[in-house]
A and B are shown apart, each in its own frame.
Chain A
């Protein structure tokens, strides 16, 4: 198993922590993991992204240009990474605020009204968990229970009261994929 992912969105949407949760959870399943964030000026006001690689074998390059899965949380990320998906790869995006959707026909496109769903659940910050849940439904590379264990590692202890809500959000994301 080798899954090469890029997760992109605005700073503050939780894209970096999505990648970190995947990595922590991957380690629990004895997988090799690599997480490379964008850092520096492009994060400020523009898009933040992280390349996350989960593999059964040793990972060579942490820097790659083509991905099995792109998870895009805003319009600039949709624009920037549509062409970075490998043929037959997965393009998962939050369509709530996207007016120009992806158009490629050689990839599997999944759109989710994730921001709206997060609003309905009364916490816009769980948008990333809804998206992560959807991803895990499409590409079940890690068990949900380990994702929740990984979440505990990434979420500072003072927010651990929010763990049940995050779990609900993950499950919501899974439901929303058809």
Chain B
């Protein structure tokens, strides 16, 4: 068993990055995730020699990730919603140039500068490509501090497996709250240089070129086809989903990240009143577990989707359910968090005609 600790989500991300053997972090402070940079600044260099650099802006940070990632090193950045928006141009370049890297978005309520309270309103940006062009990030949505830790390690593995940026989509509550975590042992920083890395051309091979620019459309289309084939491969291999009590359920609550836990508590309240609720929680929100919804679509009386946004994952839930069952939605916005009692109450109203 690994070391047990009580940790804040943001600190846990930082600790996991050090232990995962990350080589560099480039970031810019923003609430509610500034503790990541603070923790790394105190801990990382002395423990593993990891480079920690506060950039002059998020735009600079993501381009540092691009450059350092091109050398085949394990690199990462973290930010919160407005900062992640600033990074979208760089992310599109990184995805096109197939640079592995890890990003964490500790989402706060938007749009605009919004609030510093938690949100989930960057779902569409995260899963449908927030930057320009046909690209995908692999997106993991943890619902506990333990998963934040585990996904940092797995996120790096996936990033290198597919040479693709991986995003951990979390929120202000998970960033700020503390829970018990089991930490994995220190992984030494890798000395291996991937074959594609741009670290200087030795005489015995061709130059490695990492670029997102190709002015010949025929070649650019070829590269797009290659990227799309990679995304189909990710969709085939990497879907992760948690289902709880879905067999024999009357209704299914569905949600990602923090709100999934609020739904689990709401389902317990329903159980006390004799209503059987199942839970579907996508753990990867791209690739999305459409088939899990299809599997239960004609077995339940309805789906209840709860998010901290105006209904973003809802679009994917609809694509999974394909009209075979009614879907109702409850969302809070702008930094507000629903409570379990509220979720159950709205469920009663929407599906059971508000009866007690």
A interface list, Cβ under 8 A from B:
20, 23-24, 27, 32-37, 39-41, 59-66, 153
Contacts and interface: CB of A to CB of B under 8 A. Distances in A.
Contact of A33 (B172, B179, B262, B266): B179
Contacts of B337: 63
A62 B143 CA distance: 10
A39 B6 contact: no
A64 B178 contact: no
B3 to A, nearest CB: 12
Given A27-B6, A35-B179, A65-B340, 8 more contacts: A23-B178, A36-B178, A60-B268, A61-B261, A61-B340, A63-B262, A63-B338, A64-B340
A154 to B, nearest CB: 10
Nearest to A19: B178
A63 B339 CA distance: 6
Interface in B1-26: 4, 6
Contacts of B173: 36, 62-63
What are the 4 A-B residue pairs with the smallest beta carbon separation, nearest first?
A: A61-B265, A65-B339, A35-B178, A60-B264
Contacts of B6: 20, 23-24, 27, 33, 35, 153
A44 to B, nearest CB: 12
B31 interface: yes
B178 A34 contact: yes
Interface in B174-199: 176-180
Interface in B301-356: 337-342
Interface in B186-219: none
Contacts of B180: 23, 27, 32-33
A60 B265 contact: yes
Given A20-B6, A60-B265, A61-B262, A40 B116 contact: yes
Given A27-B6, A65-B341, A34 B32 contact: no
Given A27-B4, A34-B177, A39-B32, A66 B341 contact: yes
Contacts of A153: 6
